Structure 1
Amino acid sequence: MKRSTVPATAAATAVAALLTVHLSAPAQASGTSAFRPASHPILFVHGYNGDGSNWNTMADRFRSDGWPSSHLRQWTYDSRQSNATTAQQVSAEVDRLLAATGATAVDIVSHSMGGLSSRYYLKNLDGTSKVDAWVSLGGPNHGTDTADSCFDTSCTEMRIGSQFLSALNSGDETPGSSRYATWWSPCDTVINPDSTVALSGAANTRTACLGHMALLTDATVYAQTRDMINR
């Protein structure tokens, strides 16, 4: 059952109340076979100024844990465009991945701004019917002040109080039957305030002191992500 939602206009202090600290050891050591017949293919969605190679370490760990390469899609897109445009492309990528693997659902693992387009897809483009689990690693889900210094369309959408974010966070922040989880670091200097990452209705996890890009390569974050999507 989901937790109660908060208004999209809630202050950062109210969002901070959603943060749940989980620093326990991974449930399963990396290197063992975690992939099961019911496991889903994974679409990785990178952040602003990133590309599919950002996921090399995490994808390699999934392969070591039994995921076939055909089930791991390290997609690259134009991160300067509107996140709504990217969401349309996320929809197409999900359909391609489902067709290629014969699966009935996918999991989405996103980093930073990638959480916005993929969540737009779930909320507005019927994505919840095709996504079992959605993960946001260091996502500016309620905006970040670092976006004030860049001016691409996608950057303006990441600004605190933007029209894009107000619409995305209106009503239920985690709609549908998909499972939602976020990870945030107290040492992430790209996503400010830290409380921006957490979503009402999601499992919100505080990490150790990690930089923004280290969320992609940290072994504990990987293991927790793997275990969450592979329930």
Structure 2
Amino acid sequence: MTAAAAVAGALLAVQAPAPAQASSSSTADPVLFVHGYTGDAGNWNVMADRFRTDGWPSSHLDQWSYDWRQSNATTARQLSAEVDRLLAATGAARVDIVSHSMGGLSSRYFLKNLGGTSKVDAWVSLGGPNHGTDSANSCFDTSCTEMRIGSGYLAALNSGDETPGSSRYATWWSPCDLVINPDSSVPLSGAANTRTVCLGHSDLLVDATVYAQTRDMINR
């Protein structure tokens, strides 16, 4: 998530550590990518290409787009339909969801409230405002107000078990992410929570190490 101006001005700086060894197979779950506030499907081009290189067929890589201005609950219902479409198209039993920023909020709503835990094997949040961010104080779309610290949307989403069901949950957060404030907003109780090196908010989408760790987590 970010205020529109912050996201629009963000630069995608690709980091290039030594690549991790590929561990994919064509039988892996299909991956549904969920972008964040002001984002679109193209945000995932670098990561999706890396998945292809590591053996995922294009039919199993769904760079999904939605109207980021609407309530995250509305997006969650649309995401539910997209999951069903992807499962039908691939013949898979479950999907993996990889989300960036605000995309984590709609996908978590789907898991918690719309039966998503029976359809999702692994869920990933890259720089998600899971407990709110003060950056949301400067934007006013419905989706953005839901990201404000203390919002009713977040209070309901985080009530009870933050990682329900048998799905596997993981988050990545950066100490240099200036969009998600505080940093402690990202980790979830019951998830595998990973601190990255110093990366900007959008860098989480393209960093090679974050990709390799994400790939290995969902491919277990």
Instruction: Provide TM-score, normalisation by structure 2.
Output: 0.91
Q: Which deviations, in whole Å up to 9, do the C-alpha atoms of 1:126-166 show, x marking residues without a partner?
A: 00000000000000000000000000000000000000000
1:100 is aligned, of 63, 68, 89, to 89
Distance 1:75 1:136 in 2: 15
1:35 and 2:25 correspond: yes
Distance 1:120 1:27 in 2: 33
Distance 1:60 1:114 in 2: 20
2:118 is aligned, of 98, 121, 129, to 129
1:182 is aligned, of 171, 182, 185, to 171
Distance 1:50 1:36 in 2: 28
1:188 alignment partner, SS class: coil
Does the 8 Å CA contact 2:68/2:143 hold for their aligned counterparts? yes
1:91 and 2:80 correspond: yes
1:54 and 2:19 correspond: no
- TM superposition shift of 1:34: 1.6
Does the 8 Å CA contact 1:33/1:64 hold for their aligned counterparts? no
Percent identity over paired residues: 81
- TM superposition shift of 1:28: 3.8
2:139 is aligned, of 125, 134, 150, to 150
* Count of aligned residue pairs for this structure pair: 204
2:210 alignment partner, SS class: helix
Does the 8 Å CA contact 1:27/1:227 hold for their aligned counterparts? no
2:190 is aligned, of 174, 177, 201, to 201
Instruction: Provide TM-score, normalisation by structure 1.
Output: 0.86
Structure 1 residue runs of 4 or more that deviate by more than 4 Å after TM superposition: none
Q: Which deviations, in whole Å up to 9, do the C-alpha atoms of 1:36-66 show, x marking residues without a partner?
A: 52x1000000000000000000000000000
- TM superposition shift of 1:92: 0.5
Distance 2:80 2:88 in 1: 12
Residue of structure 2 in register with 1:79 after alignment: 68
Residues 27, 203 of structure 1: alpha-carbon distance in 2 compared, 3 angstrom cutoff: farther
Q: Which deviations, in whole Å up to 9, do the C-alpha atoms of 1:43-96 show, x marking residues without a partner?
A: 000000000000000000000000000000001100000000000011011001
Residue of structure 2 in register with 1:112 after alignment: 101
- TM superposition shift of 1:26: 8.3
Distance 2:219 2:172 in 1: 16
Does the 8 Å CA contact 2:171/2:187 hold for their aligned counterparts? yes
Gapped regions of structure 2 (runs ≥ 5): 1-16
Distance 1:36 1:77 in 2: 27
Gapped regions of structure 1 (runs ≥ 5): 1-24
